[in-house]
Structure 1
């Protein structure tokens, strides 16, 4: 947690004021029992009414000053903790944006959401408590002991006996609670994962009548979290009764022995009253410490998880010096795979083996193959979502590793296999890759993507709202909007990852015909399951178990490639093939 608190440097001045205000408040709290003692011993016993009024008025001023300092310290500490939480969330979010898909796969989306929200909130709450109590608790404890000893040193032996008992109880309870707090965060991750899967997959769940099964999964995850929370709260709940029990027995002992000392003439009544208050302040300072111990273990577990994210270095990083842009100017839109091999982390076999081909502007390169043959994997290497294990991927004559990720991806219009839309208007979604695109460019892209017809039928046209995940449009409409988004960008290389699968044959045919016109000066790569989608391509790459089974045009492959011939024969009639 101390590592995270280094982010408090911008708040050094407010923190200094918090400590100063807490110091003044603690001094006022320590001074009040002495004033009360003076009122009893000098005012009440002697019957000096003016003295009682004078010291009583001074006590009110001291108490008012302490209250003002307390309010100021609370305000500033809340402000510092809030700013710290905001900056830390921003830092985590920014760091996560640099992660490759490999880091996302390792940590998991649900866990990253929990770490960015709940975990940071836990640390933020503890910071507020620490700022208020880190100075106050030690001062009240040490100051209370000094003042108690000044009132009666022998009676202070009661406190000497009590403090180790309280400290031992706090240590034992905190020691048992820390592992459970860590387990709670893991179980919270699991609950978030189950809930997220349930909400995003609600259509599948209902269509397969698996509502009861998902309810059972949720109940199990919820029960695990609840059981752990109950267990840890039972342990922590024992702390307050133990504290109060010790405090009450301490008070009995102080009154008992104090009464004996008063009867023997070694102590005054006012001093005993002040001594009891100082003993209570010492006890309450230890309770404040115990409250910190209740919160710190959970926050410590959260801080460890946050640091795990911040310490994780992205596997894919920009080069120190980007490659020369001269080559890029000569070979605009040129793509080349040179003996590329790639394996997913932890996989036993490479996903693709020794892939080599080249594609240039004005050409359409189609990739086809069976399920799991490596088609989408191959495309994901172009925008450098993953780095190759062997060989190289070149764009505009440069190895993608020698280019910055921003420079590389600005050349690519990527349409993913699963169409993703964001909350906002249709226009906002289409401008996602080019924020300054004009309305005319949006309309033109929508026309080519065959999306204008359904957009015009929506209530507000291009200003119609898209709900979260694009759930208020169909699968085919989502695909067409994703294609339009890529077209608005006007990139050098278009990458379509099975982006026509939800379209009917008529729309598919019209869209590909329209694409030919606008992609005349660009390189087009497309993955497709349909043979009819790839038949007219300038180059067809046939993948089989991660290897190239054939490269060529439709007629060539029908004669030379068994895998391609098998795919085509299973989908088209002899008349269509001819």
Structure 2
């Protein structure tokens, strides 16, 4: 068997790709997070002030695929509003009929209206004469109830038709909004799959989850509540304004004067509350991140007795969220009372001026009644828009957080056309590879390595030495800065990530199981595997030993945290998963760290069979697990300081010998 060869001119930084030290470095580089652990420093995402206009336009732009539906919604809204605003004018005619009937009963029958007006003026009742002259009536005749009934039926028909069109509008708009939010969720899910690992290393999972769940839900709720209301309100304001001008230009001018004042008050208050809404949703993400970390490490918190610290951090974050939420809701809640006050002032002015106009005969009582209704309809949409301001601001604040996620820099796209290796031997070559997490801090430079099929390359060294970085580069979790890495003669950058990773099996120190049966978790390694194949993989990796002691065997359901199986059993299941995948390249990152010594011997035998005829990279702290490796790389402070077989490295008496003696030599007295 040909020995692997390696050349390492330089490497200058400590840290492995997924070690805690590396994650801390990545977070520091991104400026996103400091510290770690359930009670570590709670990092906040970089906050930038919300630019309401562009964000709102971008959110509305998501409705572009629903153009036809939106057009239908607008058309239905126009029809509904037109029918609705015609109602007060026609009801004013009903009032005129009643008022004319009451006045006509006070006049002697047999005379004309002109004669009645003349008599009133002759008696010095000029105001009464002005009212009579502005009303159409027949002296001596009472209320025309048949005409009144026809008017009321027309009004009833208008309002029923308006409601039907409004219901259709809401139905169509609801569908458009929900489809838009569904597409937004799909885009976010696809974006998450295109983001590099560095993005997730630099952020709390809870904060990312908050954007994907809470913020998108808030966007959906805000769109649902505001879209229909805003559309109806705008159309109502336009329609009512037209009718007010038709009824009385003077009264319309009085009502319109209140609009700039209302807008000024709304904009002033909204400007102050918007910053608080941004803080509210940012703090929500931070609090969710703390909760997620705390409950993930719940046992650790209990063991170290850090409940008071965790509770204090939660209380501080919760208080910060309370202050931001209270301030945002309270300040934005002032908008509606303020606009209602302005509307009431307008109502008083309209009532006074309208009464004077009726007294002068310039307007009928029905016109004034209709105009008062219109003034209410005119100010009510403005108040509704103001009341929707807090919901709209909250939704746009959440939308910007989602857009920030969608705008994140993505990993390098797969090549087109992609190249796929013809064979599946698993030959891996590093050719002058250079890599650094931060541009100013070199990590690996000019690294060359050849590992032939069937050979095992072990990487050892103290914690944080950079061992995991090498395998992360093979998996393209991070992109190299120089040189190239080939698999079976093909540059891995010329392959699709799916093709590359389908040829690699990986077992991590941190086991990952999903909610499902044991058979499902093992079968995750190869979709479509039969139960016999799953059982064979479980038998080879000694999972079958403990499965039969469980009530439901392979159909035993594991919860998402895997709490109903031991840590060693979880690790055996992940090994069986990799065994079932039958990869060309195998990566083992402390794969036996959680199994007992006797099980470790059995697993080592299974691993020996699994590594047959395939390249293996083994990261290990237990040197007993890599004695038979074809090449052992010893890393210290980011440098590969030694290389060779187990016996060769012991004879050197260097770093490997010190590690070995620390683990196996007896204690010196």
In the superposition, the TM-score normalised over structure 1's length comes to 0.95
**Offset of residue 72 of structure 1:** 1.7
Question: Of residues 84, 99, 105 in structure 1, which corresponds to 2:201?
Answer: 105
Matched, 1:151 2:241: no
Q: Would you say the 8 A contact 2:226–2:392 is kept in 1?
A: no
1:443 counterpart = 2:535 = yes
Deviates more, 1:275-284 or 1:385-394: 385-394
Report the Cα distance in structure 2 between the residues aligned to 1:203 and 1:354, rounded to whole angstroms.
43
Q: Deviations over 1:418-466 (max 9, x none)?
A: 1111111111111112111111211121122221111111111111111
Aligned twin of 1:492: 584
1:204-227 Cα shifts (integer Å, max 9, x gaps): 000111111111111111111110
Deviations 1:107-138 (A, max 9, x none): 54223212212222232233224431343222
Does structure 1 residue 35 correspond to structure 2 residue 90? yes
Partner of 1:20: 75
- Contact 2:205–2:292 (CA under 8 A) maintained in structure 1: no
Structure 1: which 5+ residue stretches go unaligned? none
For 2:151, the equivalent position in structure 1 comes to: 55
Question: Does structure 1 residue 260 correspond to structure 2 residue 353?
Answer: no
Aligned to 2:123: none
Among 619, 633, 645, the alignment partner of 1:553 is 645
Separation (CA, whole Å) in 2 of partners of 1:114 and 1:226: 17
1:339 aligns with 2:457: no
Query: Which stretch of the first structure deviates more once superposed, 296-305 or 25-34?
Result: 296-305
Q: Provide the C-alpha distance between the structure 2 equivalents of 1:434 and 1:44, rounded to a whole number of angstroms.
A: 85
The corresponding residue for 2:10 is: none
Deviation at 1:238, TM superposition (A): 0.9
1:146 is displaced (CA, Å) by: 1.8
CA–CA distance in structure 2, aligned partners of residues 301 and 127 of structure 1: 12
TM-superposed CA distance for 1:28, in Å, is 1.5
2:561 match: secondary structure: helix
CA contact (8 A) 1:448 1:515 kept: no
Which of 396, 399, 403 is 2:488 aligned to? Answer: 396
Report if aligned partners of 2:427, 2:489 keep a CA contact under 8 Å in 1: yes
Please identify which structure carries the higher helix content: 1
- Whether 1:76 aligns to 2:76 is no
Q: Is the 8 A contact 1:350 1:546 kept in 2?
A: no
Aligned twin of 1:283: 379
Match of 2:505 among 408, 413, 419: 413
User: Does residue 566 of the first structure (1) align with residue 621 of the second (2)?
Assistant: no
Mapped partners of 1:516, 1:136: distance in 2: 72
* Cα distance in 2 for residues equivalent to 1:316 and 1:211: 43
Summarize deviations over 1:13-72 as a string: whole Å, max 9, x none: 322222222111111110110111010113552311001111111111111111112222
Residue of structure 2 equivalent to 1:521:
613
Q: Is contact 2:518–2:554 with CA below 8 Å preserved after alignment?
A: yes
- For residues 547 and 98 of structure 1, what CA distance do their matches in structure 2 show? 31
The match for 1:530 among 622, 628, 639 is 622
How many residues are paired up?
571
Aligned-residue Cα RMSD (Å) equals: 1.9
Residues 515 and 558, structure 2, Cα contact 8 Å, conserved in 1:
yes
Q: 1:259 to 1:160 in 2, by over 3 A?
A: same
**Aligned pair 1:387/2:479, yes or no?**
yes
Deviates most, 532-541 or 514-523: 514-523
Residue 478 of structure 1, aligned match among 570, 576, 579 = 570
Q: Does 1:304 align with 2:412?
A: no
2:433 partner SS: strand
Which residue among 631, 634, 652 is the counterpart of 1:542?
634
Name which of structure 1's ranges 556-565 and 8-17 shifts more when overlaid on structure 2.
Answer: 8-17
Asked whether the 8 Å contact 2:550–2:556 carries over to 1, the reply is: yes
Q: Which of 141, 161, 182 is the equivalent residue of 1:65?
A: 161
- Please, which moves more after superposition, 179-188 or 102-111? 102-111
Corresponding residue for residue 9 of structure 2 = none
4+ residue runs over 3 A deviation: 4-7, 348-355
Q: TM-score, normalised by structure 2?
A: 0.82
Q: Is the 8 A contact 1:351 1:377 kept in 2?
A: no
Cα deviation 1:262-284 (Å, max 9, x = unaligned): 11221111111100011111101
2:66 counterpart (2, 11, 14): 11
Deviates most, 312-321 or 160-169: 312-321
1:331 Cα shift?
6.6
| Change over 3 Å in CA distance of 1:153–1:3 after alignment to 2 | closer
Q: 1:220 aligns with which of 316, 319, 342?
A: 316
User: Residue 599 of structure 2 aligns with which residue?
Assistant: 507
